[in-house]
Structure 1
Amino acid sequence: MPDIKKYKITEPYLDLQGGLLEAPFWEKDRNTLRFVDIVKQKLHFVNPSTGPSSHKQWDLDFSVGTTADVQGNDAEFIFGGKRGYGIMKRETGESRWVKDMWSDEERKEDGGGKPGVGKTREVRMRSNDGAVDAAGRYWVGAMNDPVVVEGNITDEGVLFRLDLDLSLHRMKAPVTIPNGTSWTLDNKFMYFTDSPSGEITKYPFELSTGAVDWSKGTTFFKCTYEGGVPDGHAQDEEGCFWVALYGTGKVVRVNVEGEVVAEIELPTRCVTCPGFVGTELFITTAEEGSPEKYPWSVKYQGGLFKVDVGVRGCPLNRFKMEAKA
């Protein structure tokens, strides 16, 4: 068992009291960190060099769960939003939808589906986490929208893949809460998290086609911290993963053998996703769901945190959009 390096964060970098902060993404060329608040429907930006005073936010008309840069297009970025994939202008927040996730049939009333809530599948679903693979495809998971289904989350979720020609593919279903997605440094395996399973699973992956052998999944990491599940994660240049353990107030570094080798302690419990800016790890969190049970977690709930971990993150892939949108 390797020695575990310890880090402790005592206060937030930005005390935002957010609803569900997620998806920290470093715009390296601009040295800007962007991240979202899914519940409060906001998009946030901050310049790590300038500090918290540079923070700005946009109010949106819909939820966004994940964002990615577009190769050759510095004026816009792509996102996974409430109803599908969209493109947003960096300077104005103006957006347009480029691919709906749901079919005409899924836009018809269905009695609430498995949750028994929400007139149509489209209404009761939303995008969650996502990532771009080395070939430039954008993988985004969709799940029941807790705001719509009143917390009654089922396995109606789907992991989608948007290809360069804007064709959409349903890659894995059913899933419940699709989260951290990434690939080994040699792109021979894909890691995928369905949070309620408590595990990150590793699957054989074919980069040239985007195919995943779901029948040969093996457990890469299992959360052993009481009350916790793996949420989002970020990969460093050494191939290790920094995994947010929702419900524990911790982010752990996991080596390629799936062993915990470092642990970051935060002053709030609902940790959602880490993202690298150089050697600094920025960490998003959510509102405390059980404030009476965990009063210690409330003060800095929904904040953005940071810590220098002494290793750089892997460069983030850009979506390679070859079709006009």
Structure 2
Amino acid sequence: MEVKEICPPVELGEGPYWCEEQSALYYVDITQGNVHRYFTKTNTRQTLHVEPTESGGSVSLVVPVKGRGNDFIVSIGRSLGLVNWPLDAPDHHITKAQILHTVDSASPSNRFNDGKCDPQGRLWAGTMGKGDDPDETQREKGSLFYLDSRNQLTHWITKVTISNGMAWSQDRKTFYYIDSLTYCLDTFDYEDDSGKISNRRLVIDFKKAGIPEMPDGMTIDVEGNLWVAFFFGSKVVCIEPGSGHVLREVRLPAQNITSVCWGDE
């Protein structure tokens, strides 16, 4: 397997999303409040800066809105907002988001972290407590939510420390989830129509499995295996969720691997 650097360094990269229609990789630089897109066929890049809001200026996720052309949902601090980013926008464009929801009012130093859409197109996004270093993050201050097409926000999980990786099985019956500072990968029963999750249980305790680094973002492959990025770990690890066995490890020339997605040809 060849590892190739395709974009310049960022301060805290996250949230990779592959847009097949545009042959473009979208990702964010959380602490700088920037959204980036990289067009693989032309080897060109664009940056969008989202102005801070009263709930903060970190931007940790970007997802397109189906049927809305150039509209995207982004997180800004503790808020979810809508931005418009045309393909012909100038590079380093600056925009202000239309705020849809602001959460965690009792914990004003919280911020959104990882986010991803489920098979029905609902946006799942989680929050985390304040902390300049992961090990110093305020414990159990965050939550996990989902936003549906009617702009209704549902609160699912509480007492989360660093909400992170998410994935859904191909049969749409299972949801996988990582709260990073538990050092565990968990699974839930998932109801596709309603989005309801239940029956939380353990897939793997990484520390007990001999992996001491912090699990971060995650994706799933066509065989149902989970690929987990490790902050402080310089690697992505492939897990067979039925047994919790480690199948493969891919080393990367960077220390803090935050997430992973499939894309390109």
1:81 and 1:226, CA in 2 relative to 1: closer, same or farther beyond 3 A? Answer: same
**Deviations 1:85-107 (Å, cap 9, x if unpaired)?**
1111122553211122245xx3x
Q: Counterparts of 1:234-273 in structure 2 under 5 Å? A: 234-257=219-242, 258-273=244-259
Please tell me whether residue 99 in structure 1 is matched to residue 101 in structure 2.
yes
Pick from 58, 76, 83 the counterpart of residue 48 of structure 2.
Answer: 58
Quote the Cα distance in structure 2 between the aligned partners of 1:229 and 1:164: 33
Structure 2 match to 1:316: none
Tell me how far 1:80 sits from its aligned partner. Answer: 2.5
Give the aligned residue type for 1:12: E
Please tell me whether residue 29 in structure 1 is matched to residue 33 in structure 2.
no
User: 2:64 touches 2:70 (CA, 8 Å); kept in 1?
Assistant: no
Task: Specify the structure having the higher radius of gyration (Cα).
Answer: 1
* TM score, norm. by length of structure 2: 0.86
Pick from 235, 238, 260 the counterpart of residue 274 of structure 1.
Answer: 260
Quote the Cα distance in structure 2 between the aligned partners of 1:30 and 1:12: 20
**Deviations 1:104-159 (Å, cap 9, x if unpaired)?**
xx3xxxxxxxxxxxxxx22x011100111122211100112435999443210010
Quote the Cα distance in structure 2 between the aligned partners of 1:131 and 1:235: 12
**Deviations 1:26-69 (Å, cap 9, x if unpaired)?**
12111111100111221111112223xx1232333221111212
User: 2:58 touches 2:111 (CA, 8 Å); kept in 1?
Assistant: yes
Tell me how far 1:20 sits from its aligned partner. Answer: 1.0
Tell me how far 1:263 sits from its aligned partner. Answer: 1.7
Quote the Cα distance in structure 1 between the aligned partners of 2:19 and 2:2: 26
Identity over aligned pairs, percent:
26
User: 1:83 touches 1:127 (CA, 8 Å); kept in 2?
Assistant: yes
Structure 1 match to 2:114: 129
Tell me how far 1:226 sits from its aligned partner. Answer: 4.2
Quote the Cα distance in structure 1 between the aligned partners of 2:177 and 2:193: 19
1:149 and 1:264, CA in 2 relative to 1: closer, same or farther beyond 3 A? Answer: closer
User: 2:175 touches 2:189 (CA, 8 Å); kept in 1?
Assistant: yes
Tell me how far 1:266 sits from its aligned partner. Answer: 0.9
Pick from 202, 205, 224 the counterpart of residue 222 of structure 1.
Answer: 205
Structure 2 match to 1:42: 34
Stretches of structure 2 lacking an aligned partner (at least 5 in a row): 52-56
**Deviations 1:186-228 (Å, cap 9, x if unpaired)?**
1111111001111110111112222111xx2222233235431
Quote the Cα distance in structure 2 between the aligned partners of 1:148 and 1:39: 13
* TM score, norm. by length of structure 1: 0.71
SS at match of 2:181: helix
Q: Counterparts of 1:153-168 in structure 2 under 5 Å? A: 153-168=138-153
RMSD in angstroms over aligned alpha carbons? 2.2
Structure 1 match to 2:184: 199
Quote the Cα distance in structure 1 between the aligned partners of 2:84 and 2:220: 27
Quote the Cα distance in structure 2 between the aligned partners of 1:43 and 1:197: 29
Please tell me whether residue 88 in structure 1 is matched to residue 83 in structure 2.
yes
Quote the Cα distance in structure 2 between the aligned partners of 1:196 and 1:40: 24
Structure 1 match to 2:54: none
Give the aligned residue type for 2:222: E
Work out the number of aligned pairs and report it. Answer: 250
